Structure 1
């Protein structure tokens, strides 16, 4: 197809094509039964991705319910239990591959959806992580627009903070990332965010310099050990399903062009998919 487009392109001035040329291009098409077979093979991957997404949703709901069952009677300041950092105030040149440039759109109810983030180059990465590089257990949050959203930074993700994004880095394991995340997402702290929001002419924001002095309620020390263990297990499940879904999506995107072009037989693709799901 690409060679046909190049062969029919108008080369006067800037090479280009028009709708008339596109309309005349022949498009190779498999018989209907082959199309259905390809759809079934790839559909198995999509089905598994959907199941994993539901598992992650249930795990998050269970984590929120488990946290809500424990009274948050210990009031402290954010700065006493976590260091507060913000990200760069600019956007790097985005690249197809490389470390992640996190977006506040990736913060979804406690989980980090990397499908909403972009990449930056290895050359730019040191500059964008000069202030801080997110690490496992950090709590990522938005301080401009989408206020109240937060997510736990998973292991194995090499990334920098995006614009309008900050992070809380726990100071001790007694108030670790999972506990701090659910304290942040709790009804009481969400109300604290609303109360302290600065309403600007264009966007609402959290005053980061004041954030370390904000009060936040946590469960008492003697209630934390079992709670943290339960939250850690549920968030490990969420991270596992996210990792698996990225691998499944990459496999699907690899198989599709090979099946369409006939480079890979359907039977061979079926075996690959069976091993994956």
Structure 2
């Protein structure tokens, strides 16, 4: 089957592409909230802590004032991230680094966003970035992005296929979140007992060390090395990981199951905590600290939950000038964590393990579904795969 016709992105938009507020000024506690690059992640907009600007400044940028249904695209820094502004964001605005795309009625925001997320569109964006100072996507290049445009019926069916996968991924995300929250609730309840104990990290661990300076490799036989991007939301994401020469990694810096990993440099990432719950091989780079708890002293799973719960305190420990903040090993070692009694730790461990296993299963399944979506969508959008065949494949997976 031949590919569908393609049209320039700007022909599918009501008023071209616009970017938002260039100079937001001093934050106003009761001002108009705006979406920044940091607020667009994993296809969603975070509304928990928006920057608010004065109504006077916002009123000068009515062109990018959100009504709901716009596709947002990051233009500077972490470029190419997308999200659809739901009705709850009506009245908000966006920062200079965000592009606002309002599709014409004939084209759904979902179709446009799915294409912008495709590897084809992302490659187009990467090839046209101006990286002289900071990665920036020029609006002229964005407007010229060629978008496939099959018949409306095909677009709607394709979007429905992708939504089915996205819905299942969202359900899995909620399962993982609830499992972690239940684990925290059980752990917190156990630490409220009179027999709870406090221990310093360095008195309870067998290893407290930074990772390696990687010698990167492209060989699939080499060792996975995590960087700070891999640690987010209390979990390890292997997608940003790379490979390093295996022979350069000494045994103490090879990851062991239930190690705690802590981002230890830089503003915005320092202090993030995650647990390594895999039996697979891996290591971390020198921006991450490995905390390995001694099982003869404390239960490593319970201690890991204590470290996760202590993340706000760890984040506040950084020292140094702006952009060069460091978390020193002695600081981390002196951190005191509250744990249940040893008897309670033994009783709590299997419950926490079961919850974490359930969450891990959901997240692994989501990864497989996301990979399936990335495989199917380009073929559907180009016309190389019929929708009915894709629907059958999706049914078999969800």
**TM-score over 0.5 (shorter chain):** yes
- Quickly say closer, same or farther: Cα 1:248–1:99, change in 2 above 3 A: farther
Q: TM-score, normalised by structure 2?
A: 0.55
Residue equivalent to 2:167: 47
1:85 and 2:209 are equivalent in the alignment:
yes
Residues 170, 177 of structure 1: 8 Å contact kept: yes
Residue equivalent to 1:256: 377
For 1:35-114, list aligned pairs within 5 A. Answer: 35-71=155-191, 73-82=196-205, 83-88=207-212, 90=213, 92-93=215-216, 100-114=224-238
1:233 and 2:347 are equivalent in the alignment:
no
Superposed displacement of residue 58, structure 1: 1.2
CA RMSD of aligned residues (A): 3.3
Residues 100, 158 of structure 1: 8 Å contact kept: yes
Deviations 1:71-101 (A, max 9, x none): 262223323432212112x455476977543
Unaligned residue ranges in structure 1 (runs of 5+): 2-15
SS in 1 for 2:255: coil
Determine which structure has the larger strand proportion and give its number.
2
Deviating runs (4+, > 6 A) in structure 1? none
Residue equivalent to 1:182: 305
How many residue pairs get matched? 252
SS in 2 for 1:152: strand
Q: Which has the higher contact order (CA 8 A, sep 6+)?
A: 1
Superposed displacement of residue 162, structure 1: 2.9
Q: TM-score, normalised by structure 1?
A: 0.77
Distance in 2 between the 1:181 and 1:242 partners?
19
Superposed displacement of residue 33, structure 1: 0.5
Distance in 1 between the 2:233 and 2:148 partners?
44
- Quickly say closer, same or farther: Cα 1:249–1:94, change in 2 above 3 A: farther
Residue equivalent to 2:11: none
Unaligned residue ranges in structure 2 (runs of 5+): 4-127, 129-139
Superposed displacement of residue 113, structure 1: 2.9
Deviations 1:85-141 (A, max 9, x none): 2112x45547697754323233234222334x23236xx344356651223211111
